[in-house]
Amino acid sequence: MTDAPDLSPRWRIHGDRLIHCDAPALLLGGQLHNSTSSSIQGIADGFRHARDVGANTVIAPVCWDLSEPVEGHRDFSLVGEMLARAEALDLRIVLLWFGAFKNAASTYAPRWVRADPTRFPRARVEARVRQAFTYDGAMPKPVLSVFSPELREADARAFESLLAFVAAHPLRDRVAMVQVENEVGLLADSRDRSSVAERAWSDPVPAAFVEFLHATASGSVAGRLWRDAGSPAAGTWSEMLGEGWEAEEVFMAWAFASYAEALARRGAAVWPVPMYANAWLGPQPGQERAGQYPSGGPGTRVRDVWRATAPSLQMISPDIYIDDAASVLGTYAFPDNPLFVPECRPRAGDLVLTLARGALGWSAFGIDDLRTGSQVSRLLEQLTQIGKIVTTSQAEGRIAAVVLEPGVESAEIELGGVRLVARGTRELFARMLLDAGVAHLPPAPDLPDETVDGARIRAPHDTRPFALVISGPDDTFLIVGEGLTLDFFDDAGSVEIDAVVEGSFAGGTWMPGRALNGDERLELLPTDRVGAVRIRLLRFG
């Protein structure tokens, strides 16, 4: 008699790190467009292109409507195709379950679900705010009610079957994580007003949620609403939290988090791979009130509700499409929530900020449209080869990032026992030449877009000077970035640059180039492309 094969995942979360085969791992790459993984050819082209632009990870949708077109008859052959392509190209995969909810709508629910509103009731809203991503005269999108027990069960069965399929597949180790649904929540209103939702609103608040309210931190919106209501021991949602839209957002967050927990718990019982939910950011500029952004999704106001209600999720992760990525990273890098960015614009500066924050991964949306040789592509090519260096420096606090926003001349960081002052190289040159009597610096070159011609969403080159800085032993630094010049100082004023070597990584090995000295030390990093240098300091006196 032989032992049963071990089907447990080799991927797990430990603390704030993603672990693969007992070593920290870094997921760097991009998410395919929504429909790319709906065909074999799309998968082949999308995965090949991801590898060509330097990614080590592809985030790809698995669609409920395509996987279960007839109830109980499930086909995950497209997932098998993804696994085969990932194996051939040495890529990791994060699977996105586009189930009943995707971007606060239900267009990925199968026809047999959407055609039966008696069994699977629709959400009902009273349009109180302008809805994002629509236009005047547009036909309404289907939105199912998250309060439907039949929907939750049907979705959970399909999700459970997906994880069972992957667990039984010989290439299952290619799947690093799984996302449960996509940017859930309700648009146009702060809560669902269907009959099934109204019953839930009028029911007593569950005892587990009352316990959560007692334990909330001072900054919790849910806790504030409860205390403002007099901290009642029991009652309906309105009695416990009040009648306003903030209370309704908390109610919807409990509902959507409970729904996601049901799926994650069922899936983990079959194959306990790391799972997470992604967040459409809210509030954000132009979307200040729940309903303008999806009410009940894992946004800033209710992230604590999600973490308490959906413990089978290892994290909630922000999709970043706003300019101020740094503040979002700070908001979602909180205790017991490893940082991961599953969707964002392809901005090189945001990538280095994300890694310096300790993230386990970063993914640009629409990697199918990322141009080979682009700024982000060249950065990915270097960073994917030094994953071990990055994860070790994250764990040991030896990593930092600098991104100079428009109008900012310099920034300071402290790392490796010294103070680093970063300045934009072109602006520095302009000042130096002006001091020397040269009135004008030659114009900056026109840099191509990050995206290919014809991309549906154009992404410009990130013109902000940026760098990822890693300190090493013996006063050495590895710096990867573009357009920055660095000066190093210590308290005694007894430190100077001893040696600078430019280079790049190939096959995980540092390939040294020129030894920079003299005038070239004024441009430690190129101004027109991503570069890397190793710097050694000399302490004297």
pLDDT tens, 60-112? 999 999 999 999 999 999 999 999 999 999 999 999 999 999 999 999 999 99
**How many C-beta atoms surround the C-beta of residue 62 within 10 A?**
25
Q: What is the C-alpha separation between 251 and 456, in angstroms, rounded? A: 36
Residues contacting residue 412 through CB under 8 Å, at least 6 positions apart: 419, 420, 421, 422
Q: What is the C-alpha separation between 184 and 192, in angstroms, rounded? A: 13
pLDDT tens, 332-390? 999 999 999 999 999 999 999 999 999 999 999 999 999 999 999 999 999 999 999 99
| Residue of 290, 294, 300 lying closest to 328 (CA atoms) | 300
Which pLDDT belongs to residue 436?
A: 60
Which H or E run includes 355? helix 348-356
Length of the chain: 541
13 or 431, which is more confident: 13
| Residue of 301, 300, 305 lying closest to 331 (CA atoms) | 300
End-to-end CA distance of the chain: 72
Q: How many CA atoms lie within 13 A of 442 on its CB side?
A: 3
Check pLDDT > 90 for residue 473.
Answer: yes
- Percent of the chain topping pLDDT 90: 89
* Cα-based distances in Å from 331 to 33, 278, 282, 339, 536: 27, 14, 12, 10, 35
Residue entry with tokens 């997921």 = 27
**How many C-beta atoms surround the C-beta of residue 7 within 10 A?**
13
- Percent of the chain topping pLDDT 70: 97
Which pLDDT belongs to residue 68?
A: 99
* String of DSSP letters for 278-323: EEE--SBTTB-SBTTB-BTSS-GGGHHHHHHH-TTSSEEEEEE-SS
Give the per-residue SS3 of 471-539: EECCCEEEEEEECEEEEEECCCCCEEEEEEEEEEEECCEEEEEEECCHHHHHCCCCCCCCEEEEEEEEE
CATH number listed for the domain at residues 11-365:
3.20.20.80
The token duo for 403 is 């991104």
The token duo for 14 is 């430990």
Distance of CA 294 to the CA centre of its chain: 17
Residues contacting residue 410 through CB under 8 Å, at least 6 positions apart: 404, 421, 422, 423, 424
Crossing angle of helices 77-89 and 149-168, in 10° steps, is: 40
Residues contacting residue 36 through CB under 8 Å, at least 6 positions apart: 42, 43, 45, 46, 60, 368
Q: What is the C-alpha separation between 187 and 396, in angstroms, rounded? A: 42
Which pLDDT belongs to residue 171?
A: 98
pTM comes to 0.96
Domain boundaries, the chain: 11-365, 401-539
Q: What is the C-alpha separation between 319 and 132, in angstroms, rounded? A: 15
Q: Which CATH class is domain 401-539?
A: mainly beta
Determine how β-strand 476-482 pairs with β-strand 484-489. Answer: unpaired
Beta-bridged to residue 434, according to DSSP, are none
Check pLDDT > 90 for residue 431.
Answer: no
Distance of CA 19 to the CA centre of its chain: 17
Q: How confident is the model at residue 438 (pLDDT cuts 50, 70, 90)?
A: low
Check pLDDT > 80 for residue 1.
Answer: no
Cβ atoms of residues 503 and 453 within 8 Å: no
Which pLDDT belongs to residue 475?
A: 97
251 or 131, which is more confident: 251
Which pLDDT belongs to residue 160?
A: 99
pLDDT tens, 403-427? 999 999 999 999 999 999 999 998 8
Query: Which letter does DSSP use for residue 15 in this model?
Result: T
Query: Which letter does DSSP use for residue 191 in this model?
Result: S
Which pLDDT belongs to residue 435?
A: 64
Determine which of 30-44, 115-129, 267-281, 295-309 has the lowest per-residue pLDDT on average.
115-129
Its sign, for the CA torsion 379, 382, 385, 389, is negative
Which pLDDT belongs to residue 215?
A: 96
Average pLDDT of the chain, as a whole number: 96
pLDDT tens, 146-197? 999 999 999 999 999 999 999 999 999 999 999 999 999 999 999 999 999 9
Distance of CA 103 to the CA centre of its chain: 15
Which pLDDT belongs to residue 3?
A: 59
Crossing angle of helices 207-215 and 221-228, in 10° steps, is: 100
143 or 135, which is more confident: 143
Which pLDDT belongs to residue 134?
A: 82
Which pLDDT belongs to residue 430?
A: 75
Helices (H), 149-206: 149-168, 195-202
Cβ atoms of residues 459 and 345 within 8 Å: yes
Which pLDDT belongs to residue 319?
A: 99
Q: How confident is the model at residue 439 (pLDDT cuts 50, 70, 90)?
A: low
The token duo for 298 is 């894992």
Which pLDDT belongs to residue 497?
A: 97
Check pLDDT > 80 for residue 4.
Answer: no
Which H or E run includes 379? helix 375-383
